[in-house]
Each structure stands twice: as C-alpha cells, then as structure tokens.
Chain A
Amino acid sequence: MLPTQLDRLPGYFQPLPNVIVADDFDAGLNGWMDLRPNFVGAQFAAHSHEIDLEHWGPVMLSSATFAFAGTHGSASGTYSLRLPTRSPAAPPDQPPAPGSMSLAIKRLSCPAEAARIRIEAVIAYSTVQDRPGLGSEAMRAFGLFIDLQDSEHRFMPGVRFVNAVSGEPVRRWQYYRQTDSTDVDWSYGREGAWHQAGVDPQWFGVRDADGSTSATSWFDGREQRLIYNETDDKINWMPIALEFDLRSRTYVSFTAHGREYAFPPGAGPSLASPYANISGLLNPVFFVETDGDRRVDLYVDSVVVSYATDEEVAR
C-alpha cells in the first residue's frame, strides 16, 4: 500500500484551490465505509423503519478481478472502492428493496471559509458476470451526493445517473432538487418519521415507473452513453465532478465523461431544518442501485474533495 498523494491520482482531476482530501484507494479505504442507519433503538435497533436500511451491500477494496479477464486494476494502480449491491430490486415506483443498493460514505467537516465545494471521482460500473450475455440493463442507477448542514439548513446536493428502468435503457442524469413532497409522503406514509422531506433523497421521496422521483429533476438534453464495454468484465474509467455554492446553496456545475450539464438558474436541493449536533458536517456519498435480479457494482477510483474561499471565487 502507498500513501495518499494527490500527484499519484489519475489526471482527470481539476480541484479547487484548497484540497480537503485526495483519496487514492491503493492506500486503503481512506475512511470510506458503509452508510448504515443510527443504531440507537432498543437492542441497538435502527432509528428508522420506513424501509430496510441495514442490508445494503458492503463496500470493499477491489482489484476489479473477473473470471475470464483476470484483474482489471483501477484507473491508477490496483485498487478501487467497490460498491456491490445484493438483489433483487423493487419495482421502480416502489421504495428500494432490502439490499438492492450499496452506499459508501466519508464523514468530514466543512471549513468555515469554504464558499464552494467540489467533489470529483473516477468511476466505472458493471453487472456481476454471473451468466452469459451483456448485463448492461441490470443497472438501474448510480450517483453521488453531499450531506451538508450549515447554521440554517441541512441539504443534500447530488446527481443520479438513471441507466435503465425495468430493463429498458434510460441513460440520463438527474439532480436533486427542492422536493414538493410533504414529510409524510417523503417517508412513505409514516407520520413523525426521522427523515424530513429532502433528507436522504437516495432512499426517500415518491418514485415513478420511469425513474423519476419527487426529489429529482432530469437535466435537459439528450441521453448520455457512458461507456459500458462489450462485455461485463471490461470496465472503463470515467471522471465525474460536481461543484456547489455553499453561500447560495445552489449548483455551480456538473460534468460527466466529457459532457457539461447546465443547471437552471437558482437550482438547488431541498433545504430541511437543521438536525442536532451536526452543523458543519461534510459527508460525500456514492451509491448504486440494481434494477433486477442481479448484483451490480459501482467502482470508484480516487476521490478529491476541494473548496474555494469567497476571495478565490471572486478572482
């Protein structure tokens, strides 16, 4: 294992002037771990019961090794962070089924002088090669978001690539927007739930059969064909980058595999009331969702989280 060094990362990164973390998975998991619920109930029961949050697939360091191709390695080095789901999925208009997702989180704090935050990663994705053929339509979605809380609000800006729904290709990106769901609708009908509308949009909010949700808006424009090579054991590494204005709580930019996406003016995520004891948190999260009866994997190579101050933004 090698120490984490920004100069060892793949050359896709364009961080803001101040780097908070630059995580190279050849140097280990770097604090990335499973996103699981709060075990604060009797006998360590989870705090939230609207859906099963305990059985997501466990994240792991991966060499991307396949039965016929052998070891793929990562974009730079051997290891990446692998998010593997279980299966099967629930229908797309239903809450996520137990184990149908995998989520990786890192828990940081936001520097007070940060005016803009940027998260960059190099990703690849695949369906587990457990049967002949091409598994490209078994992947429903993957994405990233940042769990943030300032002195007034908790908010979770992020993006989600809807790859396929019910086995049919979609290939379009969404962003997390201000939801119009009530708190009860958000938490699948449960009164007094822990999750306010807008919190944890990767799990909650009303879902539709076409992959829409009450937490997301589709980006304008045509579909994007991210690389899914001609067999499930050939993966290609692609960069994604999301930048967010912490002062106005609005999106700045999103790029994926060479395409820049435009946000409508003023677009931003839901602004929930603050939760106790977490002001200033900065928790980036990656997630992946299966669409059917197969396990799917999101691979994340290096991750860079960076920020700019007000003065640096003004230059």
Chain B
Amino acid sequence: MRMFHTSVTDLRQPFVETVETFPYECGWADEAIFFVTAETGTDESAQVSLGVQLSADGIRWLDEGSVLTLRGPASGFVRVTHFGGFLRLAGTVAGGTTNGATLTVRLALKG
C-alpha cells in the first residue's frame, strides 16, 4: 500500500502582496496536489497568482512552471509530479482594497 499524507502547510495564513507558502519537504512522495483556499474576508477583486516552486535544499527556489490563479474568496488546486525533495507555492496578491489575502494550503502527498 502506498503512503499518503496531507499537511496543512499554511492555515488561514495572511499574505500581503507577496506569497511564499511554507517550504515543505516531501521527497518520499511521487505525486502532490496543492489545494488552496482564499478564505472568507479576502477581497472580492483580489487576484491571487501562485506558481509551484522546487528546491534542492528548501532554501533556494526555482519555478516549476505550474500556475494557480484565484479571484476573491475561492478554492483551486494544482497537481505536481517528479519534484525532488521540497515544494512550495510562490506568487502575488494583486488588486482588492487591502492588497492581501488569507490563504489555507493543503498539500496532499502520495508515494
């Protein structure tokens, strides 16, 4: 049986303009899905743009290429495979009255 684990890497975490989710080590896993929720209270016109990033050490990050975009309070997901040892999302919050968003990130891992 394969191993499965979901980590809530960022729970109702407030971000202003720049988003960097918690660097998560998951080299044991073969596949991952980031489930992202912009929580209630996030401005209706705020646009959250997040890209998947990879890292060899959990400190220095490179874009993987996959992108997830949310507008206002909403949820979405992005799938990733073949990612090495560390994963996170990085991006921006634009628009809205506060230039901010409260995000919950659930990283579902299987391997």
Contact = CB atoms under 8 A, between A and B. Distances in A.
Interface of A: 1, 28-29, 34, 36, 43, 54-55, 57-63, 65-67, 79, 82, 84, 86, 128-130
Q: Is the interface of B mostly helix, strand, loop or mixed?
A: loop
Contact of A34 (B8, B12, B27, B58): B8
Nearest to B29: A61
A67 B59 contact: yes
Q: Is the interface of A mostly helix, strand, loop or mixed?
A: loop
Interface of B: 3, 5, 7-9, 11-13, 22-28, 40, 56-60, 85
Contacts of A62: 25
B9 to A, nearest CB: 5
Contacts of A129: 57, 59
B25 A55 contact: no
B11 A55 contact: yes
A84 B8 CA distance: 13
Given A28-B5, A36-B11, A54-B11, A60 B57 contact: no
Contact of A63 (B11, B13, B85): B85
A128 B60 CA distance: 12
Nearest to A86: B22
B40 A58 contact: no
B57 A67 contact: yes
Nearest to B27: A63
12 contacts: A34-B8, A55-B11, A58-B9, A60-B7, A60-B25, A61-B25, A61-B26, A62-B25, A65-B27, A67-B56, A67-B57, A84-B22
A29 B40 CA distance: 32
A66 B8 CA distance: 23
- Of all A-B residue pairs in the complex, the 6 with the closest CB atoms, nearest first, are A67-B57, A60-B25, A58-B7, A28-B3, A58-B9, A62-B25
Contacts, number: 56
A82 B27 CA distance: 13
A29 to B, nearest CB: 6
Residue among B3, B8, B25, B56 with max Cβ neighbours from chain A (10 Å): B25
B59 A60 contact: no
Contacts of A84: 22-23
A86 B21 CA distance: 11
A1 B58 contact: no
Contacts of A59: 7
A65 B8 CA distance: 22
A273 B62 CA distance: 52
Contacts of A66: 57
B56 to A, nearest CB: 7
Contact of A67 (B12, B23, B28, B60): B60
B6 to A, nearest CB: 10
A40 to B, nearest CB: 15
